[in-house]
């Protein structure tokens, strides 16, 4: 049987992950809103690009510090973008994100579909390259 502290830790982590998902979706909605300032839009783009980029400031294979930059930089970018978005836009986007995610619908956008295709092609190319290394030998 798991101790209450372990269950509590897992529940908190799950809650934070759900909150982060909601915040990211709200940022996407705010990015589309014409009342969002240009600087906030740029920071949102940088945050998303950093999140999906395979290139990190500190490579992930370096123990502890490799993951530390992801745990610090991404939340800081998200927090900065949230502060730059007008409060009425931010509140509306958070409400919409909450309603959308509560309904259980999957988030589907053209950009998400294109990103999935690009990453899929990249993984297939990497797999083909690895296979070609063994075939040539």
Interval 50-65: pLDDT, tens: 776 666 666 667 777 7
pLDDT for the residue numbered 4: 57
| SS3 track for the chain | CCCHHHHHHHHHHHHHHHHHHHHHHHHHHHHHCCCCCHHHHHHHHHHHHHHHCCCCCCCCCCCCHHHHHHHHHHHHHHHHHHHHCCHHHHHHHHHHHHHHHHCCCCCCCHHHHHHHHHHHHHHHHHHHHHHHHHHHC
Residue 89 is predicted with a pLDDT of 95
Q: Which pLDDT belongs to residue 6? A: 60
């Amino acid at each position: 049987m798991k101790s209450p502290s372990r269950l509590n830790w897992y529940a908190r982590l799950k809650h934070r992950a759900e909150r982060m998902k909601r915040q990211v979706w709200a940022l996407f909605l705010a990015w589309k809103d014409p009342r969002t300032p240009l600087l906030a839009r740029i920071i949102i783009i940088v945050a998303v690009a950093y999140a999906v980029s395979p290139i990190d400031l500190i490579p992930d294979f370096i123990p502890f510090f490799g993951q530390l930059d992801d745990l610090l930089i991404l939340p800081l970018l998200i927090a900065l973008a949230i502060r730059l978005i007008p409060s009425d836009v931010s509140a509306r986007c958070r409400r919409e994100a909450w309603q959308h995610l509560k309904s259980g619908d999957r988030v589907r956008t053209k950009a998400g579909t294109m990103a999935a295709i690009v990453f899929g092609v990249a993984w297939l190319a990497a797999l083909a390259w690895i296979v070609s290394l063994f075939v040539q030998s």
